[in-house]
Amino acid sequence: MRTSLSLSLAALSLIGSATAFPHPHQDSETVLSTSSSSSNQEKANAVKEAFQHAWNGYMKYAFPHDELHPVSNGYGDSRNGWGASAVDALSTAIIMGNADAVNTILDHVAKIDYTQTSDQVSLFETTIRYLGGMLSGYDLLTGPASGLVSDDLVDTLLTQSKNLGDVLKFAFDTPSGVPYNGLNITAQGNDGATTNGLAVTGTLVLEWTRLSDLTGDEEYANLSQRAESHLLNPQPSSGEPFSGLVGSHISIANGQFTDGAVSWNGGDDSFYEYLIKMYVYDPKRFEEYKDRWVLAAESTIEHLASHPQTRPDLTFLSSYNNGNYDLSSQHLTCFDGASFLLGGSVLGRQDFIDFGLELVHGCEATYNSTLTQIGPDSWGWDPSRVPSDQKAFYEKAGFYINSGYYVLRPEVIESFYYAYRITGDEVYRDWVWNAFVAINATCRTDSGFAAVSNVNTAGGGSKDNNQESFLFAEVMKYSYLTHAEDAEWQVQAGDQNEFVFNTEAHPMRVKRT
């Protein structure tokens, strides 16, 4: 998942030197290697072991609550108490062939009452985790994983998806059709916001369109596509400072952009991700989305690509606001490599693939420069802002750490996975393995996996008492898929993908009309 948090943009006017980047090593061969398959089988099994460890801890101490507190062996309900970790784990459990976990989750889904919660509901989080998790489970269990469990409860996934869509759809009942994100579902109320964020507005359309395509009721698709139409045709022109790159907030009253702050960071990120994924989902209906993604991708290469002065071989994405560039980035942003690789592969654009690999290499550098071999939550490379105690680190690594937390995020492993699947180059598979081993060594507790406070301290600093549900949905899934056999649900090179992953790593079956 990406989050809706966005950093305030500092008024900076520096941009990294434009030293030519030596081309990353890349196999012209795109056939996936079958060598050392036995050790890949062992690695896939090691990821299954880690999943089972976390699943057992969640079942023992937290189920049917939302998430495990992996240090105290308690639980939390940060996602409305509908069992977020169980629903988010479903598609991973299916792909791993874990019938016991799948049966437990299906029994649970049948019992969820989506009309009841005492907390505010996030339209975005609920869509990507719960709706995405259930729809993906339905697509997998009625498709390539049919027969894993008895059919009895599979239809419940679609019924409950429709129930959830019906609970949430009032959010779009605004003058512009741009939804409120913060909802009071029992009173059909909202948080009173006047704007909605780019990512939370633009990361609904895959799930809501899939819901319509599976149920035959066009309403859900129409609602999400009407909201998206304001993002595809940005008004006023100050909301699109570079072709295809748009601002961060949209007026709920009239659908206009209220700023022109541009980035691929948290708060903006998955809007760009979904533009190209909608085209993968259905190239006939979503050609306009693809055209917008291409514009954004070209502008990103031209305007946002940035190379640290001390490490001109690395590429990161800066952000832009009102004439100023901010030389900082986030773990969340590291989905960017995957997006360029997917778009480049689907559209046959080698320039996008090459740039995607540059971004992948930059994100790898944030991992392999730290003591734990895990990358920080955010970092910068502005030469005028290097903290005095990080000068030596910056000289060597090319960046300094702004937040040293690692909160079990998947984006770096996600982009390594796409790089491996699309180029077939084993180096990216090795990077997934290295990251997985480091996370297992640093974050593991007796009952699961914990966020850690400082990736550049031996042992990761202190453990944070939280295990986000996306540990199951994303970190475990991408780590497993990288080492697992080819399958219909795997990302494929070229334009013949059978599944497309939502931003929470839930694979949806593509719909070609």
- Give the distance from CA 339 to its chain's centroid: 10
Given a contact cutoff of 8 angstroms between Cβ atoms, the answer to whether 436 and 404 are in contact is no
User: Given the complex with ligand NAG, which of 215 and 238 has the nearer CB atom?
Assistant: 215
46, 149, 301, 371: which one contacts ligand NAG (CB under 6 A)? 46
Task: For 486-508, give the DSSP string.
Answer: P-TTS--SSS--SEEE-TTS-EE
Q: Element (H or E) spanning 212, and its range? A: helix 205-215
**CA 145/CA 141 separation, integer angstroms:** 5
Residue 218 binds ligand NAG (CB under 6 A): yes
**What are the φ/ψ torsions at residue 342 (nearest 5 degrees)?**
-65, -50
Size of the residue set binding ligand NAG (CB under 6 A): 17
Site for ligand NAG in 221-250 (CB under 6 A): 222
CB of 93 to ligand NAG, least distance (A): 19
377 is catalytic: yes
Residue 373 binds ligand NAG (CB under 6 A): no
Closest among 72, 73, 41 to 56, alpha carbons compared = 73
Instruction: Give the x-and-dash track for 411-430 against ligand NAG (CB under 6 A).
Output: --------------------
CB of 218 to ligand NAG, least distance (A): 4
Q: Of 336, 377, 425, 464, which one is the catalytic site residue? A: 377
Residue 39 binds ligand NAG (CB under 6 A): no
Site stretch for ligand NAG (CB under 6 A), options 92-100, 215-223, 342-350, 404-412: 215-223
22, 97, 175, 189: which one contacts ligand NAG (CB under 6 A)? 189
Strand partners, 69: 74
503 is in an annotated binding site: yes
Residue 155 binds ligand NAG (CB under 6 A): no
Site stretch for ligand NAG (CB under 6 A), options 67-75, 141-149, 214-222, 252-260: 214-222
20, 31, 187, 392: which one contacts ligand NAG (CB under 6 A)? 187
Site for ligand NAG in 320-339 (CB under 6 A): none
CB of 365 to ligand NAG, least distance (A): 4
Closest among 490, 448, 499 to 44, alpha carbons compared = 490
Residue 371 binds ligand NAG (CB under 6 A): no
CB of 130 to ligand NAG, least distance (A): 17
Residue 440 binds ligand NAG (CB under 6 A): yes
Could you give the C-alpha distances from 480 to 42, 93, 350, 419, in angstroms and in order? 11, 11, 27, 15
Could you give the C-alpha distances from 317 to 1, 7, 173, 196, in angstroms and in order? 19, 14, 36, 24
The token pair that represents 425 in the structure block? 């180059």
User: Given the complex with ligand NAG, which of 454 and 479 has the nearer CB atom?
Assistant: 479
Instruction: Give the x-and-dash track for 290-309 against ligand NAG (CB under 6 A).
Output: --------------------
Strand partners, 400: 380
Residue with tokens 């057992």: 56
CB of 296 to ligand NAG, least distance (A): 24
Closest among 433, 423, 410, 425 to 484, alpha carbons compared = 433
Closest among 406, 410, 402, 454 to 8, alpha carbons compared = 402
361, 463, 483, 506: which one contacts ligand NAG (CB under 6 A)? 361
CB of 213 to ligand NAG, least distance (A): 12
Task: For 74-89, give the DSSP string.
Answer: EEE-TTTTS-HHHHHH
Sign, Cα dihedral of 99, 103, 105, 109: positive
116, 186, 233, 462: which one contacts ligand NAG (CB under 6 A)? 186
Residue 364 binds ligand NAG (CB under 6 A): yes
Closest among 357, 511, 509, 362 to 422, alpha carbons compared = 357
Task: For 442-498, give the DSSP string.
Answer: HHB-SSSB-EES-TTSGGGSSEES---THIIIIIHHHHHHHHSPP-TTS--SSS--S
CB of 447 to ligand NAG, least distance (A): 12
User: Given the complex with ligand NAG, which of 90 and 401 has the nearer CB atom?
Assistant: 401
**CA 485/CA 32 separation, integer angstroms:** 10
CA angle 13, 22, 315 (to 5 degrees): 35
**CA 215/CA 504 separation, integer angstroms:** 22
User: Given the complex with ligand NAG, which of 163 and 492 has the nearer CB atom?
Assistant: 163
CB of 57 to ligand NAG, least distance (A): 13
User: Given the complex with ligand NAG, which of 368 and 465 has the nearer CB atom?
Assistant: 368
User: Given the complex with ligand NAG, which of 78 and 440 has the nearer CB atom?
Assistant: 440
- Give the distance from CA 6 to its chain's centroid: 15
365, 422, 435, 476: which one contacts ligand NAG (CB under 6 A)? 365
Given a contact cutoff of 8 angstroms between Cβ atoms, the answer to whether 185 and 115 are in contact is yes
Q: Is the preceding peptide bond at 64 cis, omega within 30 degrees of 0?
A: yes
110, 148, 232, 437: which one contacts ligand NAG (CB under 6 A)? 437
Site for ligand NAG in 93-152 (CB under 6 A): 119-120
Annotated active-site positions, please? 377
Which positions lie near ligand NAG, rule CB under 6 A?
46, 119-120, 184, 186-187, 189, 218-219, 222, 361, 364-365, 368, 437, 440, 444
Binding-site members are 503
Binding-site members for Ca(2+) are 503
